[in-house]
Structure 1
Amino acid sequence: MPARNAAEYGSTQAWDCVRPCWQRHPDRPLVRAENLIAELDNPPGWLQDFTTDLATKYSVGRACTMITSLGRLLRDGQPNLPQSVLECSRRPGRSMGSLARALETFFTSRGLAMATDQAERLAAGRRQRRVLAAPDTLRPSVEAFSDFMIRSRERSRRAGTLPRTDATIEAALAIVRDLALFLAGERGKRDWALTDVHDLEAFLAGSPKARKRRLVVLGQFFRFARSQKIVLVDPARGLTARGPSGFTGATLTLDQQRMLFRRWTMDPAVHPHEALLGMLALLHGASSREIKMLQVVDLDFRARTARLGDRPHPVPLDPPSWAAAERCLAHREDQRTDNPHVMVTRQTKTGRGPASTAYVSHVLDACGFPPRMIRCTRLLELVNTMDPKLVAAAFGMDPEATMIYLADHIDPGRLPDLQSQWLQAPP
């Protein structure tokens, strides 16, 4: 064990020589915790285990800094109960701090405390920012619509139906905010009652690809506004999407698929997360959410299968896909993490949550194609070469969801040459 002070070396010069080594010594957090326990009159029983957990997940310097911050909390005279310490460790603002996140992960995994409401606080802040961005005269109705969606979600949870997610509510508020800015800035209207169908048509024309989604939200908002006497007539009632009902997205060509397959199976410089997400999307039609929620226990190493999302049966993985999964597991092992997910990032290796949606959406940036485009290519091929109902059953989808991928044309290679038959037919 390195010396703890210069007195044991007899000179300050000797201590200066050994100090850099002690700064990186793996026992330094444990010694810091021992000193803290000796200073406290009633040290909590979980402190030693928490220090060990920090030492295995963080660097020596970061672990010591967090133990020092924890010591200030334990000396303030407040109760040392896990829930109280967790609440006191939270920082104000959008991030509750690394110490609070580490305490939350440690306490919840051992059943010592309940998880914080940090996610709810962040969602409330995002909603508030969208509401405040609306013009002053139109803002009260936007705020009332936000409260209405929150109350509807609570009723849906109590009733056991499918509630709106935070992302859905935030997207709806963003559309209503954009409409309010458009009415005030482009149309010179600062009262919702003055909105007519021509205003909505002009607003929808600004983003034709988002017409369907915007029209759904505008219908919800103006039905709410009419029920609250904000408007007398619903201007969105007679509007229609007027768009094709089938799949209109972009897909990969066969040469592009081959190029991506070679990239993810032969290029060792490709990040393991990119290879896993790309191969499962290209060959098995896996979504980004299915892959980011995939855990180690979902992999059957003997049968080489994986349980993806809500699919009713395990998905057999071909050798290239299984090799990509093994690369990802090796990358996870190098991070020395207790996170149960296969895809572990620098932000999630100290916790137990999945990778963020923002991270997963940018994993394939290096290859130049988004995950949705690759997945839709596979689904489009399967639906047009197999029974759509079988595809829906295999993927855990509603039968109606696969119908949009049915192409409106027939592959000429699958039909007999009718023209030659007509020419050979007797007159």
Structure 2
Amino acid sequence: MEDFVAHVAARFCVSRACGLVTDLGRLLQDEHSNSPQALLERSRRPGRSMGPFARALEDFFTQRGLAMPTDQAERLAAGRRIDAVPEPLRPAVAAFDASCIRAQDRARRVGTRPRSHHTLETALGILRDLARFLTEHRSKDDWALTDVHDIEAFLVTLPKARQRRLVVLRQFFRFARSQHIILVDPTRGLTTKEPGGFRGRTLTLDQQRELFRRWTGDDHAHPHEALIGMLALLHGASSALQITDIDPLAQSVRLGKRPHPVLLDPASWTVLQRCLTHRAAWPTDNPHVMVTKGTKAGRQPASTAHLSHVLDDCGYLPWMIRSTRLVDLVNTMDPKLVAAAFGMDPEATLIYLCDHIDETLMSQWYDSRS
């Protein structure tokens, strides 16, 4: 209790700190469990915001390793997608989402690899689109009426996403059949019918040069945009940085799960210093390099929504820039070396191999052999 008092006193005004301490005292005196995780769950408000008390308690417990962070943002995103499902089909989707969340929690507790929140949100988005398609284009408001022709017609609407969509639909209909929501799995026997290679868009060399000049020579670009862009363009990175990940002496950083620190070139290091200067203007104890108005009082990283839109002004998506770098590295180096350097599975880099032969590289290879 005394540590929590000191924690909130250093971050809030006197009246707010007293209110938070009072709220904690009320929770400690009720009949429920007083374990840190139980206190954190009971402190959350229903609705879009879990409240300042829950956020302060989350920062206090997670900073000391006493509880796992909440999934408030992910719950809100999932709730929005479930609410968008037509009402007759909504209960099955909600039950499937609850089952996935329970499986994610079990995996986290036993130490295996749980599905990410992004994966679960993507699955709900696909089911939402299928439910709308069934009601609007197939005049069906019951999952039991879905047949293989409905699934095929839905997959045709977005051919490039066929494989990803079919994987999610198979999972959902297996669950629905186990819960006796349907009698026959309509996805049984369907195939992806597409190659497994990379087919995403990449940037041309001129576009890469334009972005490099924008982020290194244009002071009008936001520091967050420049940092995310340069890490993706030159280092193929997409992870958030913490202050402890930076080594000023070696001018290197640790990126995600990569096994070794990444040495930054002068341009990337300059962009990083600019972002740190921008961060210094915020009175915050947040350990992350990128701090926003919503995270300056806590310790959470910038939200997924902020990171996904931080490059909107430059006109390109983060995954497109990162894919450009990976395609270039995999096709000019050994894919196994790229996988080892990036901390990826070797199979993950193979999808970026192009299906054409670079005549220039082949001539250089023949010259070296002769």
TM over 0.5: yes
TM-score of the superposed pair, with normalisation by structure 2: 0.84
2:269 to 300, 305, 322: 322
Checking the alignment, whether the CA contact within 8 Å between 1:175 and 1:214 is kept in structure 2 is: yes
2:345 to 398, 407, 418: 398
Letter in 2 for 1:50: V
> 1:237 Cα deviation (Å)?
1.5
Does 1:119 find its partner at 2:71? yes
Residues 382-417 of structure 1: CA deviation (Å, up to 9, x unaligned): 111111111111111111111111111122223449
Letter in 2 for 1:343: M
2:294 to 343, 347, 359: 347
Q: Distance in 2 between matches of 1:268 and 1:314?
A: 28
1:145–1:68: structure 2 CA closer, same or farther, 3 Å change rule? closer
Does 1:146 find its partner at 2:103? no
Checking the alignment, whether the CA contact within 8 Å between 2:58 and 2:69 is kept in structure 1 is: no
Checking the alignment, whether the CA contact within 8 Å between 2:162 and 2:192 is kept in structure 1 is: yes
Q: Distance in 1 between matches of 2:3 and 2:341?
A: 49
1:299–1:389: structure 2 CA closer, same or farther, 3 Å change rule? same
Checking the alignment, whether the CA contact within 8 Å between 2:257 and 2:342 is kept in structure 1 is: yes
Checking the alignment, whether the CA contact within 8 Å between 1:96 and 1:118 is kept in structure 2 is: no
1:367 to 311, 314, 334: 314
1:202–1:398: structure 2 CA closer, same or farther, 3 Å change rule? same
Matched with 2:367 is none
1:245–1:319: structure 2 CA closer, same or farther, 3 Å change rule? same
Residues 298-317 of structure 1: CA deviation (Å, up to 9, x unaligned): 11111111111111111111
Alignment gaps of 5+ in structure 2:
365-370
Q: Distance in 1 between matches of 2:318 and 2:235?
A: 12
2:11 to 53, 62, 87: 53
Paired residues, number: 360
1:78–1:233: structure 2 CA closer, same or farther, 3 Å change rule? closer
1:273–1:204: structure 2 CA closer, same or farther, 3 Å change rule? same
1:87–1:286: structure 2 CA closer, same or farther, 3 Å change rule? closer
Matched with 2:139 is 188
1:299 to 241, 246, 249: 246
Q: Distance in 1 between matches of 2:164 and 2:24?
A: 51
Checking the alignment, whether the CA contact within 8 Å between 1:279 and 1:321 is kept in structure 2 is: yes
1:392–1:275: structure 2 CA closer, same or farther, 3 Å change rule? same
Letter in 1 for 2:327: L
Q: Distance in 2 between matches of 1:170 and 1:249?
A: 21
Residues 247-280 of structure 1: CA deviation (Å, up to 9, x unaligned): 1111111111111111111112222111111111
Does 1:267 find its partner at 2:218? yes
> 1:52 Cα deviation (Å)?
3.5
2:49 to 75, 95, 117: 95
Alignment gaps of 5+ in structure 1:
1-42, 55-62, 418-427
Q: Distance in 2 between matches of 1:123 and 1:403?
A: 31
1:66 to 16, 30, 34: 16
What percent identity do the matched residue pairs reach? Answer: 60
1:86–1:378: structure 2 CA closer, same or farther, 3 Å change rule? closer
> 1:368 Cα deviation (Å)?
1.1
TM-score of the superposed pair, with normalisation by structure 1: 0.74
Q: Distance in 1 between matches of 2:28 and 2:106?
A: 38
Does 1:284 find its partner at 2:235? yes
Q: Distance in 2 between matches of 1:77 and 1:387?
A: 57
> 1:233 Cα deviation (Å)?
2.7
Larger radius of gyration: 1
1:309 to 256, 280, 292: 256
> 1:139 Cα deviation (Å)?
3.7
> 1:75 Cα deviation (Å)?
11
Q: Distance in 2 between matches of 1:75 and 1:315?
A: 46
Q: Distance in 2 between matches of 1:162 and 1:75?
A: 36
Letter in 1 for 2:343: G
> 1:159 Cα deviation (Å)?
4.7
Q: Distance in 2 between matches of 1:87 and 1:216?
A: 32
> 1:374 Cα deviation (Å)?
0.9
1:87–1:323: structure 2 CA closer, same or farther, 3 Å change rule? same
Residues 345-382 of structure 1: CA deviation (Å, up to 9, x unaligned): 22111111111111111111111111111111111111
1:409–1:87: structure 2 CA closer, same or farther, 3 Å change rule? closer
1:356 to 303, 306, 311: 303
Q: Distance in 2 between matches of 1:97 and 1:260?
A: 39
> 1:182 Cα deviation (Å)?
2.3
